[in-house]
């Protein structure tokens, strides 16, 4: 190993500089080696000396401007949670595409004497290792895995636990790490694959359109090809001509796409939650990719038309004036069916995604999340045993119907601790999530009781000696809710089980409900929940803010509503749903434009036939049906392809959710209906125009 650095992310602190007071959430204690391992450019100060003593802090450029303006912050002091820190460095703001978001770095030496660095069971640190060039990470796998056994064998023997260390590349964290307590939530790579596949399908539809319209309009260029061949052009020259024409069209389309992207960046960023800029379009990797894409699309989209057109026989063309054949017609039908199949699959995918997102947002979660105002108590503030007084102060307003306190809010990731049955063996140890709540929390949130009782002020021992578990925890130990009552469990806090509650979703519906233990532990309370009557909400919020300033003078007031916070659990799904919809709409528009052109060509080809039919007595509606029935046939065959594909792909996506909808025939039928409606709407203008034309004009057409 070349360098090793530790980093520990802690809860946000109250940062003060004169009369400026703000909560900063991304506060990290770090070793100085971290700046050698990760690329974090220093704008002011030196990485080597910034952390050479306790009480020093390195801040981001954003934080520097926020508190110091244009002044030089080096050597100045920031107060965080009532402790002075000397600013010894300013670093560049973190880029958007990093898992390691930061605002402030505090010297790890600040924790010396306060933190038990020699305890192997505290997994609070992220350890970054920079390997020497000649070292293979696989060679460290075995030594790292057994490191705890080597250096802390006595601790392991006392605890009957095991610790295993392993390496993962920093570049893989964003997409492929699914560990708890990552510095930033990782992205599901499946979404990246889905969006890439959709983009490819949309491009494929565009290529199909190009081939379709080129071959369909080939009759218009038949004489041109014939004349060129008669005056001496060979086939290779014609192929180069058609390929060059396609390349010019695609290059022009690329320039138009770049202009559109510049205009649409705000919309794209809003939908995706990213911050793309014009500079991203000029990145070398994108330029190389687009160059390769242009060549590939030029060849893929124009190869068949080029070879098809150049193969015309000049004698036949000059004699008949047109070229026709089963081959071109069959290809066009196959391409149109393929376009419809992709469009139907995209529509079905969109319907399934929005159905799942709607299901998650509206599913009953086992608790009441509406009209819950959350007030975080952050920094050095503490509710402690004073929480009853704080609750009483907020309850003075008639629109506040209830109050509760807790260590976390529903939707946050909880701490997990090994919990063992007292008097049991090693096999009676389970991992339980821990939540610390006041005696009113479960009742205020409407969580149902399965057996036993809830915490009560009438029992003085409930604070120190009682715990409540959920049904999943009881099941984990093999107990019914009734059997769990009176069992004694030992964890960070120990206690007898006085109640078992029904399972409720304290995390998103992507995951199964995990075992949960609840304790009445006032020192851990960091959140106040106010149940509100939302009539005259602004007045109620003004009252809450006034009360906060009376109870905690000088500390910023912050709040949010639980339902909005909890729905952030589905933020990734929301974004992918919006992006999916945009791509689907784009694909449908492109397919519709191609179909419109093809319908125009078909109607033009059948001009004489339509005139003859009308003279023989065919009505306008019969002509419209004749021109439209082929579209219906294409949609039918497209459904036979699209439905199985859409079902398999979307069913695979739904496996990411522990609780999900079923893909019904109604969803697939709806996608088919939408596709048919779009197809008929696209072609109806040309059909009606052709059907209503004067038959005399039609017979004069040729």
Note the pLDDT tens digit of each residue in 674-701. 888 888 877 776 667 666 766 655 555 4
Output 8 or 409, whichever has higher pLDDT: 409
* Least confident residue range of 176-185, 317-326, 384-393, 621-630: 317-326
Q: What is the mean pLDDT of residues 192-208?
A: 83
| Distance between start and end Cα atoms, the chain | 83
Rounded to the nearest integer, the mean pLDDT of the chain is 81
Q: What letter would DSSP give residue 327?
A: H
Does the pLDDT value for residue 440 go beyond 80?
yes
Answer positive or negative: Cα dihedral of 346, 270, 12, 504: negative
Q: How far apart are alpha carbons 21 and 380 in whole angstroms?
A: 13
Surface-to-core class of residue 390, CB atoms within 10 Å of its CB (0-12 exposed, 13-18 middle, 19+ buried): buried
pLDDT in tens, 236-287: 887 788 788 888 888 888 888 888 888 877 877 777 767 777 777 777 888 8
Owner of token pair 């000649």: 134
Q: What letter would DSSP give residue 140?
A: G
Angle at alpha carbon of residue 508, lines to 443 and 383, rounded to 5°: 45
Q: What is the pLDDT, as a whole number, of residue 316? A: 63
pLDDT in tens, 62-117: 999 998 988 999 999 988 877 888 999 999 998 877 778 888 888 888 887 776 66
Q: Are strands 56-60 and 3-10 parallel, antiparallel or unpaired?
A: unpaired
Q: What is the pLDDT, as a whole number, of residue 172? A: 80
How confident is residue 195, by pLDDT bands cut at 50, 70 and 90? confident
* Least confident residue range of 516-530, 539-553, 679-693: 679-693
Q: What is the pLDDT, as a whole number, of residue 464? A: 80
Q: Provide φ and ψ at 440, rounded to 5°.
A: -100, -5
191 is written with which tokens?
């979404």
Q: What is the pLDDT, as a whole number, of residue 326? A: 44
pLDDT in tens, 616-636: 767 777 777 777 777 788 888
Q: Provide φ and ψ at 395, rounded to 5°.
A: -75, -5
pLDDT in tens, 486-508: 999 988 778 899 999 999 999 88
What string of H, E and C letters represents the secondary structure of 47-100?
CCCCCCCCCEEEEEHHHHHHHHCCCCCCCCEEEECCEEEEEEEEECCCCCCCCC
Q: How far apart are alpha carbons 368 and 363 in whole angstroms?
A: 11
Other C-beta atoms within 10 Å of 357: how many?
18
- The half-sphere exposure of 209 on its side-chain side, counting CA atoms within 13 A, is 20
Does the pLDDT value for residue 603 go beyond 80?
no
How confident is residue 119, by pLDDT bands cut at 50, 70 and 90? low
**Dihedral, CA atoms, 277, 279, 283, 287, nearest 10 degrees?**
90
91 is written with which tokens?
């670093």
pLDDT in tens, 122-150: 666 778 888 887 878 888 777 777 776 77
Does the pLDDT value for residue 541 go beyond 80?
yes
Q: What is the pLDDT, as a whole number, of residue 182? A: 67
Does the pLDDT value for residue 577 go beyond 60?
yes
Q: What is the pLDDT, as a whole number, of residue 678? A: 82
Q: How far apart are alpha carbons 525 and 528 in whole angstroms?
A: 8
Q: What is the pLDDT, as a whole number, of residue 469? A: 95
Q: How far apart are alpha carbons 384 and 463 in whole angstroms?
A: 12
Q: Which of 445, 652, 423 is nearest to 563 (CA)?
A: 445
Q: What is the pLDDT, as a whole number, of residue 479? A: 93
Chain CA centroid to CA 569, Å: 10
Other C-beta atoms within 10 Å of 103: how many?
18
Does the pLDDT value for residue 160 go beyond 80?
no
Chain CA centroid to CA 479, Å: 38
Output 640 or 310, whichever has higher pLDDT: 640
166-180, 376-390, 465-479 — most confident range: 465-479
241 is written with which tokens?
């001509």
């Amino acid at each position: 190993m070349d360098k090793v650095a530790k980093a520990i992310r802690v809860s946000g602190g109250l940062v003060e500089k004169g009369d400026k007071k703000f909560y900063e959430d991304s506060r990290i204690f770090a070793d100085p080696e971290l700046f050698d391992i990760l690329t974090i450019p220093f704008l002011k100060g030196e990485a080597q000396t910034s952390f050479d003593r306790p009480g020093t802090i390195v801040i981001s450029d954003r934080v520097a401007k926020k508190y110091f303006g244009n002044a030089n912050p080096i050597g100045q002091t920031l107060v965080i949670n009532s402790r002075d820190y000397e600013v010894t460095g300013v670093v560049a703001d973190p880029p958007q595409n990093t898992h390691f978001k930061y605002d402030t770095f505090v010297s790890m030496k600040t924790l010396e004497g306060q933190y038990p660095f020699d305890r192997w069971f505290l997994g609070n640190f992220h350890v970054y290792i920079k390997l020497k060039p000649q070292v293979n990470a696989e060679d460290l796998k075995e030594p790292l895995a057994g490191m705890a056994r080597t250096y802390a064998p006595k601790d392991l023997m006392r605890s009957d636990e095991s610790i295993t260390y392993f390496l993962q590349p920093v570049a893989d964290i964003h997409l492929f790490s699914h560990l708890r307590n990552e510095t930033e939530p990782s992205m599901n790579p499946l979404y990246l694959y889905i969006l890439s596949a959709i983009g490819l399908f949309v491009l494929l539809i565009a290529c199909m359109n190009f081939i379709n319209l080129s071959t369909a309009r080939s009759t218009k260029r038949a004489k041109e090809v014939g004349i060129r061949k008669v005056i001496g052009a060979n086939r290779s020259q014609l192929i180069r001509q058609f390929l060059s024409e396609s390349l010019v069209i695609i290059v022009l389309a690329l320039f138009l796409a770049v202009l559109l992207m510049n205009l649409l960046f705000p919309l794209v960023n809003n939908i995706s939650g990213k911050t793309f800029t014009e500079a991203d379009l000029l990145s070398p990797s994108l330029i190389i990719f687009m160059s390769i894409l242009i060549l590939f699309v030029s060849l893929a989209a124009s190869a068949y038309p080029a070879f098809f057109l150049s193969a015309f026989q000049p004698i036949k063309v000059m004699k008949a004036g047109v070229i026709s054949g089963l081959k071109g017609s069959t290809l066009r039908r196959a391409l149109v069916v393929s376009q419809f199949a992709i469009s139907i699959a995209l529509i079905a995918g969109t319907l399934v995604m929005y159905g799942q997102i709607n299901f998650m947002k509206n599913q009953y979660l086992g608790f009441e999340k509406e009209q819950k105002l959350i007030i975080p108590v952050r920094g050095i503030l503490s509710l402690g045993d004073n929480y009853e007084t704080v609750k009483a102060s907020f309850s003075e307003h008639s629109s506040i119907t209830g109050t509760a306190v807790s260590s976390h809010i529903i939707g946050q990731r909880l701490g997990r601790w090994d919990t063992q049955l007292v008097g049991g063996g090693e096999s009676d140890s389970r991992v339980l999530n821990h939540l610390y709540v006041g005696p009113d929390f479960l009742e205020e949130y409407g969580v149902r009781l399965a057996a036993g009782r809830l915490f009560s002020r009438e029992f003085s021992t409930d604070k120190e000696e009682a715990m409540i578990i959920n049904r999943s925890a009881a099941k984990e130990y093999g107990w019914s809710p009734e059997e769990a009552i009176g069992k004694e469990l030992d964890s960070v806090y120990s206690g007898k089980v006085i109640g078992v509650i029904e399972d409720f979703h304290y995390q998103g519906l992507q995951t199964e409900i995990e075992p949960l233990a609840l304790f009445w532990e006032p020192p851990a309370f960091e959140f106040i929940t106010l149940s509100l009557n939302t009539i005259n909400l602004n007045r109620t919020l003004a009252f809450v803010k006034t009360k906060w300033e009376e109870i905690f003078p000088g500390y910023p007031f912050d709040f949010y509503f639980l339902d909005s916070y909890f729905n952030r659990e589905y933020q990734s799904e929301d974004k992918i749903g919006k992006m999916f919809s945009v791509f689907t709409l784009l694909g449908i528009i492109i397919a519709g434009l191609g179909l419109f052109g093809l319908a125009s060509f078909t109607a033009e080809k059948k001009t004489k036939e339509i005139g003859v039919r009308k003279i023989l007595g065919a009505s306008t509606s019969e002509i419209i049906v004749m021109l439209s029935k082929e579209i219906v046939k294409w949609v039918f065959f497209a459904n036979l392809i699209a439905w199985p594909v859409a079902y398999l792909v979307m069913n695979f996506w739904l496996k990411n959710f522990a609780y999900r909808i079923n893909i019904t025939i109604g969803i697939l039928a709806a996608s088919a209906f939408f596709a048919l409606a779009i197809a008929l709407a696209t072609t109806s203008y040309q059909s009606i125009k052709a059907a209503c034309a004067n038959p005399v004009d039609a017979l004069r057409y040729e």
